[in-house]
Amino acid sequence: MNFEYFLAKRLIKGAAHKISISAPIIKIAITAIALGMIMMLVAIASGVGLKYKIREKVAAFNGHIQISNYDNNASDVSVVPVDLNQDFYPSFKDVEGVTHVQAIASKGGIIRTQETFEGILAKGVGKDYNWSGFEEYLVEGELPDFTGKLNSQVLMSSLMANRLKLSTGDSFYAFFLKDDDVSQLPNQRKFTITGLFDSGFEEFDGVYVFTDIRHIQRMNKWGDDQIGNFEVFLDDFDQLQEKSNEIYGKTLSTLDTQTIVDKYYKIFEWIGLFDFNIFLILGIVIIVSGFNMITALLVLILERTPMIGILKALGSANWSIRKVFLYNAAYLIGIGLFWGNLLGLGAIYVQHKFKVLKFPNPQEYYIDYIPVHIDVLTVIVLNVGVLILCLLMLLIPSYIITKITPVKAIQFE
């Protein structure tokens, strides 16, 4: 039998400690642990959720990796065509972790109505385009269908539609300069809005209009097997750079690869700060919770000084007695962690399900509600980490037991 654990259990289950002077301090310590766990869970879930959501939106418009020709074109407009007939298209079998490859072409233009005009980037997509990333952003109408004959359907953002005073079902004219001779009259196309989307990403919503890639090919005088670039999607974003290097090595020497982190480095530098903020919050909360437990442990030791003296008189070693109080402290931390997990994970579930909390300024975070994401492994590691770190912090104050002498301790009141 574990003597220290047995004694700690008797102390915990005994009725005396519930009405002792340490009872309110113990309750405060448990509450601090619970509140700390709630704060840490919410901080991790909201920080990671926001980071994942922003990454997801950027990838929906660009893919994770783009494959294009080597050229000096720094814009998103497709200038030099890429041959559609590649070994990696339509399935990239040589690289594991690639879930989808799609061909696109982009062309800059202007939409003009009777009242106003807007500059656009017409993104031509084909029947291979993966619309799953846009389904949740669709706010009106339906997604265009480019699987059949060439049509005039387009998908536009509600932001641009409001600026142009257009809605679903309306038609408009778009004008595109001819790359071979800008002095000639521009290409003119009439499009019809089939659906409106709202991603919350004004940088994209205010520019992109999705149309049939065959319009772009015809205006650029390209063949059916010529496109602007390929967009590659991965199943694991954390392997982005590694897979980018691998893809670069598996493609022709005339092709270049670029990740969305390289293309939108300012955005990813910003969301990279989320990790620092999360670790800062975790550190502060663990320190505060640890000091609360130190206070509770010192009060417990002070209250049980006569018992410590008796145990020493009976031959108990200092470390054995310290373990009794550490077991007791671990129990109190466990209670705090239980309630913290229950309330914290409950709050995260409610936010995930009902999106109760909203951002006061959605345009600053590219989303109107606070997204949350947390996994089981993170919860387990967090709980074990808090328990271990708090117990390590308690080793120092428990050292005071070694300074207690049996004679004075037994007489202590």
Tell me the pLDDT tens digit for each residue of 120-157: 999 999 999 999 888 889 999 999 999 999 999 999 99
**Is the distance from CB of 65 to CB of 247 less than 8 angstroms?**
yes
Give SS3 for 111: strand
Sign of the alpha-carbon torsion through 358, 360, 361, 365: negative
- Please name every residue paired with 229 in a beta bridge, in sequence order, or none if there are none: 104
**Is the distance from CB of 106 to CB of 63 less than 8 angstroms?**
no
First to last CA, the chain: 31
State residue 300's pLDDT score.
82
- Please name every residue paired with 171 in a beta bridge, in sequence order, or none if there are none: 192
Share of the chain above pLDDT 70, in %: 94
Calculate mean pLDDT across residues 286-296: 87
pLDDT band at 411 (very low <50, low <70, confident <90, very high): low
Using alpha carbons only, give the angle 18, 24, 27 rounded to the nearest 5 degrees: 90
Calculate mean pLDDT across residues 226-253: 94
Give me the chain's average pLDDT, please. 89
State residue 108's pLDDT score.
93
In 10 A of CB 54, how many CB atoms?
22
Q: Torsion angle, CA of 60/61/66/70, rounded to 10 degrees?
A: 180
In 10 A of CB 194, how many CB atoms?
20
Residue with the two structure tokens 């846009």: 134
Tally of CA atoms within 13 A in the half-sphere of 205 that contains its CB: 22
Q: pLDDT tens for residues 314-353?
A: 888 888 888 888 888 899 899 999 999 999 999 999 999 9
Strands 171-176 and 187-197: antiparallel
H or E element, residue 63: none
In 10 A of CB 401, how many CB atoms?
21
Q: pLDDT tens for residues 295-311?
A: 888 888 888 888 888 88
